[in-house]
Amino acid sequence: MTTSMLFPGFEPRRISTAGAEINLVIGGCGPPLLLLHGYPQTHAIWHRIAPRLAEHFTVVCTDLRGYGDSAKPPGETDHRSYSKRAMAQDQVEVMEALGFKRFALVGHDRGGRVAHRLVRDHSARVVRLAVLDISPTASMYAKTDKAFATAYYHWFFLIQPYDLPERLIGADPAYYLRKKLGGWGSTLDHFDRRAYAEYVRCFCDPATIHASCEDYRASATIDLEHDAADAGRKLDCPLLVLWGAKGVVHRLFDPVADWKSVANDVRGKVLASGHYLAEEAPDETYADLLAFFRD
């Protein structure tokens, strides 16, 4: 299996939650650290830093509901199956099943949005939170302009009603994936060919295409409702935000200021990278995460 080569010494597992069966790898020893990937990828994004983090932590890398080899429940009219609340609940139940009631948490891209909701709904579970190359969802929607809509057109394409985006992506999913992965401030050259093969294998599944559209539809509807209900209530756990100097977030947003609007203890740093920090700038990403979680 490709991921076993990418994560030497890690054990593959599958854990059933109340809403989905979640695929993961676990390795290392020490305090628990959960790593959540983004769109349109899988837990394979962490292959360049997870083995090093496993020298200090028990590292859990999961496939989010709807992605990779995790279950892909059908979408619903209100998209609740792919709300960040439902996706975060999966991760809490996974960590509970592994024996971890409290843990540190890292989320890249969509995984960062799941992580944000996880801390909102389960604040006692999370010791520290790091988010990679995002500002809060509500902040990004509120600041949408022509430049953002052009750069992140997929936000507005994927939320179109079923099954328009599914059919268009499904006509040539490998082409669409190649354009997305190579379009956020860098080229495809930084991807390990084995990891990239995993992304292609998983994304070409029609169920993954549908689930990922549902993820974005939820972000534009039910997730914003949940965020609005939390307005004025800030996160208390320490939060680190890292982002890439070549990416859209750096060009159009102020990540530290944006996260300070929703959290009390925020620090941040820009890295010489595009969107995919853990794969493009693994040494710097690893060093900053290690320093933050060992502080």
Please give the positions annotated as active site.
Answer: 109, 275
Count CB-CB contacts under 10 A for residue 264: 11
Sequence-distant (6+) residues with CB within 8 A of 122 are: 88, 92
Q: What is the 3-state secondary structure (H, E, C) of the chain?
A: CHHHHHCCCCEEEEEECCCCEEEEEEEECCCEEEEECCCCCCHHHHCCCHHHHCCCCEEEEECCCCCCCCCCCCCCCCCHHHCHHHHHHHHHHHHHHCCCCCEEEEEECHHHHHHHHHHHHCHHHEEEEEEECCCCHHHHHHCCCHHHHHHCHHHHHCCCCCCHHHHHHHCCHHHHHHHHHCCCCCCHHHCCHHHHHHHHHHHCCHHHHHHHHHHHHHHCCHHHHHHHHCCCCCECCCEEEEEECCCHHHHHCCHHHHHHCCECCEEEEEECCCCCHHHHCHHHHHHHHHHHHHC
Sequence-distant (6+) residues with CB within 8 A of 61 are: 7, 10, 24, 25, 26, 35, 37, 43, 46, 50
Give yes or no for a contact between 96 and 15, defined as CB atoms under 8 angstroms apart: no
